């Protein structure tokens, strides 16, 4: 199957050069389809249906195991994840010694690496071993995050609540309050929408790392480092800061114009793939952002975003991506801004792990080329001959 899809006309000695690998097909995958129909499919299922009906656990099961669980399978999977939440003692005590002003993304990058150190068999890379570790990470990374955050802010430590599902428990441990139904639903939707998105930069880096046949902790550590940047996962935090800076809907239009005239990128807009049409994830989270705003009587952030959206469309013909209205949702939930990208990590663990398993099941080392543009044939001078 894969052989039939390979473009034999590509000259291996002089392959096509595409900066940023734009338009390059680097893998076959049955995990996520960014279809041309304006929808995104996880293992064949529309994200519209998944966001409306499923829990994060259901989606994680789907991504990792390739099929939707039946009632019994889902119950087992959900309680297994809830049981796996406790951190190894060694990891918890190291996390409580890290500098309190560390960015939580740096803590997660370090924390996942630590979880590998405390896993006596971390070098195992069979499908079964990777699946087991994927479940551990999905269960433990949210606790790693909330544990560090509560320690750094000198807040009362909170244990995980086994009666809550993954999204509810993360929100509970972040805010210290049991979420109401609407907040729990919207947070769950945001985690589903963040769970997977084909060969984005962080997933690609996880697959590159996996292609050396290394362990899953190394692949997820690579992915977290890649997600952190403002052009990728870091954009949701940048959007929230932008909204706070704009402060009022009456200032939105002028703010956008001024930013564009300085050639500044407006965070939460544009996408390498969803360029000429709206990111389907944005439309979903936008509806929930509006509902949450109306429900809490705080429509200010939503209104600022719609004003920015209109102006960006007028000026640049650019559409919002998932991060714009997700920032509104998280602001309304009172989640501290530096935790937005880490929540993306907690969600994307399912997608990254599914890709690591898929890569290692049918592996070929990922090793592209570059075109050398530096000098050649320079004459080596001894140290005292150099100016
Ligand atoms: N604000 C202003 N202009 C933009 C933006 C933006 N957010 N995004 C793209 N453009 C403009 C570029 O300046 C360029 O214009 P030009 O042709 O006049 O020079 C044109 O659109 C094409 O941009 P590229 O840089 O070629 O697009 P690319 O595919 O490389 O970038 C990216 C995609 C990085 C996401 C970009 O749109 C961006 O920087 N967006 C802001 C960051 C962001 O929101 N990231 C989140 C991505 S979604 C996610 O991770 C869940």
Q: How many domains does the chain have?
A: 2
Mind giving me the DSSP string for 123-189? T--SHHHHHHHHHHHHHHHHHHHHHHHHHHTTPPP----TTS-HHHHHHHHHHSSPPPHHHHHHHHH
Is 196 in the same domain as 310?
no
Q: Provide block-wise average pLDDT over 10 residues at a time, the chain (387 residues).
A: 66 78 93 88 97 98 98 97 95 96 97 95 91 97 97 92 95 94 98 97 98 97 96 92 97 97 96 86 97 97 98 96 97 96 98 98 94 96 96
Ligand 1 atom with the shortest distance to the CA of 22: 29
Nearest CA among 141, 109, 73, 174 for reference residue 350: 141
Q: Is residue 384 part of a domain?
A: no
Is 81 in the same domain as 162?
yes
Mind giving me the DSSP string for 19-75? GGGTT------SSEE--TTS--EETTEEHHHHHHH--HHHHHHHHHHSS---HHHHH
Is 270 in the same domain as 211?
no
Ligand 1 atom with the shortest distance to the CA of 321: 48
Is 145 in the same domain as 280?
no
Write down the pLDDT at residue 297: 96
Q: Whose CA is nearest to atom 47 of ligand 1?
A: 232
Q: Is residue 268 part of a domain?
A: yes
Q: Is 313 in the active site?
A: no
Chain centroid to Cα 270, Å, comes to 16
Ligand 1 atom with the shortest distance to the CA of 269: 7
Helical ranges in 228-299 per DSSP H: 235-246, 252-261, 280-296
Q: Whose CA is nearest to atom 1 of ligand 1?
A: 265
| CATH number of the domain enclosing 156 | 1.10.580.10
CA of 89 relative to ligand 1 center, distance in Å: 43
Catalytic residue among 119, 147, 271, 274: 271
Is 287 in the same domain as 322?
yes
Write down the pLDDT at residue 120: 87
Q: Is residue 3 part of a domain?
A: no
Q: Is residue 8 part of a domain?
A: no
Is 197 in the same domain as 284?
no
CA of 212 relative to ligand 1 center, distance in Å: 31
Q: Is residue 184 part of a domain?
A: yes
Is 327 in the same domain as 189?
no
CA of 274 relative to ligand 1 center, distance in Å: 10
Is 224 in the same domain as 239?
no
Is 37 in the same domain as 147?
yes
Distance CA 78, CA 368 (A): 40
Q: Is 323 in the active site?
A: yes
3-state SS assignment for residue 284: helix
Is 240 in the same domain as 134?
no
Range of the domain at 74: 32-229+350-361
Write down the pLDDT at residue 36: 73
Catalytic residue among 197, 279, 323, 355: 323
- Token couple for 72: 């019994």
| CATH number of the domain enclosing 319 | 1.10.230.10
The number of CA neighbours under 13 Å toward the Cβ of 207 is 22
Q: Is residue 164 part of a domain?
A: yes
Which residues have C-beta atoms less than 6 Å from ligand 1? 20, 231-233, 235, 265-272, 316, 318, 321-323
Ligand 1 atom with the shortest distance to the CA of 268: 44
CA of 24 relative to ligand 1 center, distance in Å: 18
Q: Is residue 382 part of a domain?
A: no
Q: Whose CA is nearest to atom 24 of ligand 1?
A: 272
Write down the pLDDT at residue 245: 97
């Amino acid at each position: 199957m894969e052989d039939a899809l390979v473009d034999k006309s590509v000259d291996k000695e002089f392959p096509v050069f595409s900066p940023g690998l734009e338009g390059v097909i680097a893998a076959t995958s049955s995990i996520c389809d960014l279809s041309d129909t304006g929808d995104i499919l996880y293992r064949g299922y529309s994200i519209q249906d998944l966001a409306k009906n499923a829990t994060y656990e259901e989606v994680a099961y789907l991504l990792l195991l390739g099929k939707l669980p039946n009632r019994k399978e889902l119950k087992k999977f959900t309680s297994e994840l809830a049981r796996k939440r406790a951190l190894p003692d060694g990891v918890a005590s190291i996390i409580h010694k890290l500098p309190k002003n560390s960015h939580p993304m740096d803590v997660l990058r370090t924390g996942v690496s630590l979880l590998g150190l405390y896993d006596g068999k971390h070098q195992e890379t069979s499908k079964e071993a990777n699946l087991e570790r994927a479940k551990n990470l999905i269960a433990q990374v949210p606790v790693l995050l909330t544990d560090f955050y509560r320690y750094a802010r000198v807040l009362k430590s909170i244990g995980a609540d086994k009666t809550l599902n993954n999204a509810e428990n993360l929100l509970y441990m972040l805010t210290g309050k049991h979420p109401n139904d609407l907040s729990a639903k919207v947070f769950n939707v945001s985690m589903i929408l963040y769970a997977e998105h084909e060969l984005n930069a962080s997933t690609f880096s996880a697959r590159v790392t996996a292609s050396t046949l290394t362990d899953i902790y190394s692949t997820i550590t690579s992915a977290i480092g890649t997600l952190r940047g403002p052009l990728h996962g870091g954009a949701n935090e940048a959007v929230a800061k932008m909204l706070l800076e704009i402060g009022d809907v009456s200032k939105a239009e002028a703010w956008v114009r001024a930013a564009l005239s300085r050639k500044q990128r407006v965070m939460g807009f544009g996408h390498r793939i969803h360029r000429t049409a709206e990111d389907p994830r944005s439309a979903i989270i936008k509806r929930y952002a509006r509902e949450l705003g109306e429900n809490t009587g705080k429509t200010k952030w939503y209104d600022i975003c719609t004003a920015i959206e209109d102006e960006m469309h007028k000026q640049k013909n650019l559409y919002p991506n998932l991060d714009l209205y997700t920032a509104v949702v998280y602001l309304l939930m009172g989640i501290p801004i530096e935790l937005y990208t880490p929540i993306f990590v907690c969600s994307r663990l399912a997608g990254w792990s599914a890709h690591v398993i898929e890569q290692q099941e049918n592996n070929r080392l990922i090793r592209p080329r570059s075109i050398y543009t530096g000098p050649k044939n320079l004459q080596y001078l001894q140290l005292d001959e150099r100016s």
